[in-house]
Structure 1
Amino acid sequence: MNFDFREIATATMVLFAVIDIVGSIPVIIGLRAKFGHIQSGKASLVSAGIMIAFLFVGEEILKLIGIDANSFAVAGSFVLFFLALEMILGIRLYKDDKATSASIVPIAFPLVAGAGTMTTLLSLRAEFQSVNIIVAILLNIILVYLVLKSSGKIEKMLGENGLSIIRKVFGIVLLAIAVKLFAANVKGLFA
């Protein structure tokens, strides 16, 4: 095993920026309000499992079903786009009457382990040792767990007006990320 702290630090920061769990706080609080409960541990473990599995077999699975990374990223950009619209416009697009928790969908996937994260993992794998990427994933999952676990306290601290403002601001940021993810990958669809 070749632990390289520089690779771990770089991969951790890249994943932190892509996952953007701090920016997702308004989405998480909104989902908690809709469903009443978020299983922080379950969402974190599923997210970690998805990311680690995708790190090793993601590209092969996509090739097997005839999907390239660009198509996958564009599809993920649409999911992020609609989540952003919910935040900005205060409307509800994601409707699942049977769901009793938002732990797996949409928190574990696509919010934490979404198309942007998975595409990033494929890019990191080309540059860094897998063991260092796994450490970076685990460090980010610890942060995800802490944010999910303390979302109630964060909500009380910010208040209703603070949440509304942050939800709209981060909705615009999420919309910008969706547009960037779309723009960066849509060219690859026609190449």
Structure 2
Amino acid sequence: MRLVAEETTRHWWSYAVRGAAAVLFGILAIFWPLITLMTLVVLFGVFAVVSGVITLVGAVRGGDPEDSKPWAIASGILGIVAGVAAWLWPGITTFALLMLIAAYAVVVGVTEIVAALRRRSSGETEWMYVVYGGLAVLFGILMFLWPASGALALTWLIGIFAIVYGGALLVLAYRIHGVRHKGAAGTAPRVA
């Protein structure tokens, strides 16, 4: 159990990078609301690929407990596939982009929640994993329910979600980093 906490705290930076990428994407979507669909597709593709690669690298390098590693790998691969799909078919309609982003958010959110529950069974009790997984699922469901939203509302909704999601990841990274420093100071690392 202690090894799992040490491995998780060693990869705190991956959450920080994913969070920063999400916040940057969100800010661009909010303050540049009249961007073309092509630009939105490219920005989403960059976000999804960066997030997927970092998640995959963290899982392969041992940032997750063994029983949640397959979920983290699946989440990373899904992010890369979604980003590459957005780049390969940039001419997709607004509705198709909305469905792609909604599906990505729901699947990634569910995998994060499952991974959090697996972590809990290994002794970790970090609630932020569940929070950002739940935010992703909620966002995806809302996008499935209201697909007729205008492009402006869509970019703002995506931007707000990305900022909130990225903020949750940054808080998680900060907390994990703090646990790592406590562990280095001689106290047993424990993610609470």
Could you say whether these structures have the same fold, taking a TM-score greater than 0.5 normalized by the shorter chain as the test? no
Q: TM-score, normalised by structure 1?
A: 0.38
* Structure with the larger RCO, 1 or 2 (CA within 8 Å, 6+ apart): 1
